[in-house]
Chain A
Amino acid sequence: EVKLLESGGGLVQPGGSLRLSCAASGFTFTDFYMSWIRQPPGKAPEWLDVIRNKANGFTTEYNPSVKGRFTISRDNTQNILYLQMNTLRTEDTAIYYCARGLPGYSVSDYWGQGVMVTVSS
Chain B
Amino acid sequence: DIVMTQSPSSLAVSAGETVTLNCKSSQNLLYSGNQKNYLAWYQQKPGQSPKLLIYWASTRQSGVPDRFIGSGSGTDFTLTITTVQAEDLAIYYCQQYYDTPFTFGSGTKLEMK
Contact = CB atoms under 8 A, between A and B. Distances in A.
A45 B97 contact: no
Contacts of A114: 49
A63 B100 contact: yes
A108 B97 CA distance: 10
Interface in B36-69: 40, 42, 49-52, 55, 61
A65 interface: yes
A45 B100 CA distance: 15
A3 B34 CA distance: 31
Interface string A59-81: 00111110000000000000000
Given A44-B93, A44-B107, A45-B93, A106 B102 contact: yes
Contacts of B55: 102, 105, 107
A58 interface: no
Interface of A: 44-47, 50, 61-65, 97, 102, 105-109, 111-114
Interface of B: 40, 42, 49-52, 55, 61, 93, 95, 97, 100-107
